[in-house]
Chain A
Amino acid sequence: MRHEVIFSGFGGQGVILSAVILGRAAALYGNKYAVQTQVYGPEARGGASMSAVVIDDEPILYPKVASPDIYVIMSQQGFEKYGAAAPKDALMLVDSELVHSRPQCACTEIPATTEAKETLGRVIVANIIMLGALVTATGLVSEDAIKRAVLDSVPKGTEDLNLKALHLGFELGRNT
């Protein structure tokens, strides 16, 4: 079955990396096909950034999102640009500290930025918390697959921090 996941936030949060990690988990450790694409502007930080992952059991022909069914939104601007038009049958995970609006579709509030700051002391791993929550809330890929993909993708020396963030995300996603 084809799933189309949209990640949006502001440049610098790591929304493109989140999408790369999810795609990697699905394609290399989940025995599926995945295509990751992005829309970005010349601004490196602060602008609305969007990345998409298409996951399917069969080879992916059209590589872009046509009818997204899962959203991960990490900024108000990202919500307005990419989340506000989400179809009613979609599922959206929002960072509850940074996104003030709520969509018409099913919505799960994840306090990723708050937890990253208060529990882990590093706001930079908010995206990994969201990714963990996404996995347990949707079952798109297994916990083991995403764990391996995170370890492949993060800088040396930050593995423990990122795994803690991922597990925190698993818990937050499970409790929804």
Chain B
Amino acid sequence: MQGNRACCEGALAAGCDFFGGYPITPSTEIAEMMALKLPKAGGTFIQMEDEIASMGAIIGASWTGARSMTATSGPGFSLMMENIGYAVMTETPCVVVNIQRGGPSTGQPTMSAQGDMMQCRFGPHGDVATIAVVPSTVQEMYELTAKAFNLADRFRVPTFVMSDETIGHMREKIVIPEKVDIVPRKPLLKGKLPFEADEDGVPGFAEFGRGHRVHVTGLTHDERGYPDTTDPEVHEKLVKRLYNKVESKRHEIADYDAVNTDAETVFITYGPCSRTVRQVLHDHPDECIGHLNLRIVWPFPEETLKIFANAKTFIVPELNLGQMVREIARHTTGEEVLSMPKIGGHIHTPAELYAAVEARK
């Protein structure tokens, strides 16, 4: 099965019932398949006029209770930023799939890249905290897309599937589970205000058409949802809550594999680069080479770095000029952090990565 198709199958299994999108290479197969499959599954597919409108459509659909998603790539992702910020401010659960290609601008439509890793974290203006999953296999594309819906609903944030052309267009065998866990959105309880958070920092959801009186705005608002744009305390309380409801749960959200945790040289990867590192470890079984594979990169699970207690060097191969490596360096305590950037469209070869290990000896 192709990676992009596995994304659709995972979304459908998770109960996705609304897709609004504007097809773009290399994500187009997702829109094509959702157009075929969603109406038959009782859902709605809308091809919007552009990516700004696509993002608006999935936000609106989400407020009617739909599990909504869109899929895009670099240029479309840039257009979505304004409304992604709106989704953060209005606490609208939704899933945005980015099958990354070479940028900036229209760049390399048919080639692989991971150049949007910081954009998905810091793209919208203002202080935001969102969640990003990254698959390294077609199997994970299925599983993590399904998981993204649960995370979006649990934390009421836009959740990103930050894949790339390599995994999106790759075909390999997957095993589809009989059932996918669906964690439903927490409803707004009687007596609570629509933006009055529970202890976990997340308010119950006042779905449209269920009798709630709710006002949804991108302006700074109070617990009723009414704009209050000049009181510093209201703004600080709201934005800190939006930020901390995700950041403070990074340990709970974290999803990773840690291999050879006593190693001195440790690769940290996400997405297709993880597979090259697995090949290096497989080809050199007698050497203790550590590997941390991150399936969730945002919120960044900084505590996972401490698992490698003997680490002297963290090596970070990425399909960009060095993005997540900066976040990793920010959380290390004296270890050497080596960036292995690669752009142009191809993933690192095992030989390229092993050369970095040999150079450390």
B21 part of interface (Cβ distance < 8 Å) = no
A1 part of interface (Cβ distance < 8 Å) = no
Total residue contacts A-B, CB cutoff 8 A: 53
A66: B residues at CB distance < 8 A: 349-351
B272 part of interface (Cβ distance < 8 Å) = yes
Cβ distance B299 to chain A, nearest Cβ, rounded Å: 28
A61: B residues at CB distance < 8 A: 275-276, 278-279, 282
Q: How many angstroms from the CA of A63 to the CA of B351 in the assembled complex?
A: 14
B350: A residues at CB distance < 8 A: 62, 66
Q: Are B110 and A35 in contact (CB under 8 A)?
A: no
Neighbour of B173 across the interface among A20, A33, A37, A42, CB < 8 A: A33
Q: Which residues of B contact A (CB under 8 A)?
A: 25, 109-110, 166, 169-173, 272, 275-276, 278-279, 282, 346-347, 349-351
Neighbour of A63 across the interface among B173, B272, B282, CB < 8 A: B272
A34: B residues at CB distance < 8 A: 171-173
Cβ distance A105 to chain B, nearest Cβ, rounded Å: 21
Cβ distance B169 to chain A, nearest Cβ, rounded Å: 6
Closest to A26 in B: B173
Closest to B138 in A: A35
Cβ distance A53 to chain B, nearest Cβ, rounded Å: 9
Q: Which residues of A contact B (CB under 8 A)?
A: 20, 23-24, 27-28, 33-42, 60-64, 66
A36: B residues at CB distance < 8 A: 170-172
Q: How many angstroms from the CA of A20 to the CA of B275 in the assembled complex?
A: 21
Q: How many angstroms from the CA of A24 to the CA of B2 in the assembled complex?
A: 11
Q: How many angstroms from the CA of A61 to the CA of B171 in the assembled complex?
A: 13
B25: A residues at CB distance < 8 A: 42
8 A-B Cβ contacts within 8 A?
A: A27-B173, A33-B172, A37-B166, A37-B170, A62-B275, A62-B276, A63-B272, A64-B349
